[in-house]
Amino acid sequence: MAVKFSNTFLLRKLHQLTGIIPLGMFYFVHLWTNSAALNGAKVFDDHVQDIHNFPYLLLIEIFGIFVPLVFHSVYGILISAEAKPNVLNYGYVRNWFYLFQRATGIFLFFFLLFHILNFRFGLIPGLNLIPVAGNADKAYSIVSGEFQITWVMVIYIIGILATAWHLAYGFFLFAVDWGIVIGEKAQKVVLYGCLSLAVMLGVAGINAAFAFVRPCGLLPTALCEEPHKAETNAPKKF
């Protein structure tokens, strides 16, 4: 009998766990760093430099990000291939959510390949060719240069929204599958919590992306440090 990856208990648990720790944790830190761009190029570059100063950074990247990411993506694609979507038979909202979970996962595999080659390594022909790694002082200008290109910005916005959904709904699936939230009522409350988290992650992520093309992103400049400083330091006209 053929082995079904989706039935392999230990691998399945490991797949769920890697989505939360370390990948979910990484994303919160990443969003925080990207949001530093709201306060200008120097603040963002300094945040990137602080990360580059971590001891054992390469080992953290390899074993804390790349290995779990490859396992989580490849195993996720294998179980998606085995899943039989039943939204057409049963139009329940949760079936659609389950389908989105798989669809965003497959999209994120390609998005992250593009994103990591684009920024971490500077290896996408025709786009930025300077890796952010080793060039923290140019990090803001590298990202900002890419985000001036409309199609690149559109891909990042879709990537941010896909991540927001995949991570937040992933928390819900994890809580149910690991028996953390059991009753029907409790599951409903946690589901609403996770959907709200998806909205917050989406809005904060898009705002961070716009901070690379406009001071303070989509917020009024009075709410951010650098544009505010520039205004208060400007010579008075009268």
- The residues that touch ligand HEM, with contacts defined as CB under 6 A, are 27, 30, 34, 48, 61, 65, 69, 112, 115-116, 119-120, 132-133, 139, 143, 156, 159-160, 163, 205, 208-209
Q: Is 140 exposed, middle or buried (0-12, 13-18, 19+ CB in 10 A)?
A: buried
**For ligand HEM, the closer CB: 172 or 212:** 212
CB of 19: closest distance to ligand HEM in angstroms?
A: 11
**For ligand HEM, the closer CB: 72 or 181:** 72
CB of 181: closest distance to ligand HEM in angstroms?
A: 24
Q: Is 92 exposed, middle or buried (0-12, 13-18, 19+ CB in 10 A)?
A: exposed
CA distance 152 to 129: 15
CA distance 188 to 162: 22
CB of 202: closest distance to ligand HEM in angstroms?
A: 10
CA distance 10 to 22: 17
CA distances from 129 to 41, 52, 117, 124, 163 (A): 19, 19, 9, 7, 25
CB of 115: closest distance to ligand HEM in angstroms?
A: 5
For residues 217 and 32, the answer to whether their CB atoms sit within 8 Å is no
CB of 159: closest distance to ligand HEM in angstroms?
A: 5
**For ligand HEM, the closer CB: 80 or 118:** 118
**For ligand HEM, the closer CB: 12 or 30:** 30
**For ligand HEM, the closer CB: 87 or 153:** 153
